[in-house]
Chain A
């Protein structure tokens, strides 16, 4: 069965610091990978996704993620965070073979200090 683990539950950064949130999944086959963001009081929004091709994926708001197949990882990065990036970030995986179920990680709560 698929599973997703996010290494950090809480992260506190100052503005302009660099961000990297870890995500590892367990599934032996083809996967589709996602990062979602949930701003306070708002619903989930898609940040970026990987289906195939270039393993370095660029998303909205300056975020990017790198798929490393050998490490079963899909870490999210941003070179310089802003106060407005304060939110909860979820990594998600679904099986590319048409399993259709998307499994979410536990989430990482990011707080950016102004």
Chain B
């Protein structure tokens, strides 16, 4: 099946620094990628939808200046958490939609990135 990778898998940073998380679709082209946040023992919360070559669409309550998303190619989207604070500590998961007529609505998920802000 389709594979999505994320890098890094874990990151610890100091408060006030920025962190970039990469999401790659390894064996398919993804015109659309999604970024989720998962708090402990809770479900996935959609943060933004990223379309290749255009600006991301953010969900209500998600600060676009804090969570910068770039989807520069059909296989790569990045999420940059700017000026991170301890409350940004979370598990960030990306997913990619495979573009083919039979599976346009199936998302494949990355393994997630655990961010800890000290």
Q: Which residues of A contact B (CB under 8 A)?
A: 32, 34, 36, 42-46, 49, 51, 90, 94, 96, 100-107, 109
Residues on B with C-beta less than 8 A from A46 are: 106-108
Cα distance A36–B109 when bound, in Å?
10
Q: Which of B22-58 contact A (CB under 8 A)?
A: 32, 34, 41-44, 46, 49
Which residues from 80 to 113 on chain B have a C-beta closer than 8 Å to any C-beta of chain A? 93, 95, 97, 105-112
A107 touches B43 (CB 8 A): yes
Which 4 A-B pairs give the minimum distances between C-beta atoms? A44-B109, A43-B111, A106-B43, A32-B105
Residues of B within 8 A of A101 (CB): 34, 46, 49
B interface residues (Cβ-Cβ under 8 A, vs A): 32, 34, 41-44, 46, 49, 93, 95, 97, 105-112
Residues of A within 8 A of B93 (CB): 43-44
C-alpha spacing A103/B46, complex, angstroms: 7
Which listed residue, B34, B42, B108, B110, touches A107 by the CB 8 Å rule? B42
